[in-house]
Amino acid sequence: MRILLTHPAVLVFVGGGAGSLLRYWAGRLIPATLIGPSFPNAILFVNVVASFVLGAVVGWVINRSAGDEMRLLIGVGFCGGLSTFSSFSYDTVVLLQNGRFAAALLNVGLNILLCLLASAGGLMLGKGI
């Protein structure tokens, strides 16, 4: 049983399921008017959180020479299920199609800037733990 629970595919599956559930609940709980009406607030939130968590996990794995299980469970599985470039891209296209050019530019800029900052912060935290 222990071998099955540590199998790479099972780790990715379990982590991905947890990340997907969090993304679903973020879509339900993040206020739609946080930045503005019809702005993809939840996708921005989960992308930033996933970037931070992935940076922290990678930093921790590097610093502690940890096994691959943590990277697979949290990095590949959880962060892969939580973050979604396809949703970010789709939301940006919809904003453009609706003539909301400033909101589309803001969405792209915030996702890139905040995710880069979150990744760097997570990596520094992970290396320091």
What is the C-alpha separation between 62 and 16, in angstroms, rounded? Answer: 22
What residues make up the domain containing 114?
A: 2-128
Sorting pLDDT into bands at 50, 70 and 90, what band is 18?
Answer: very high
Report how many domains make up the chain: 1
Instruction: Write the DSSP assignment of 111-123 as a string of letters.
Output: HHHHHHHHHHHHH
| pTM score of the predicted model | 0.79
Structure tokens at 52: 């931070």
pLDDT of 30? 84
What is the C-alpha separation between 24 and 103, in angstroms, rounded? Answer: 23
Per-residue pLDDT at 2 exceeds 70:
no
**Rg of the chain taking only CA atoms, in angstroms:** 16
What is the C-alpha separation between 25 and 6, in angstroms, rounded? Answer: 27
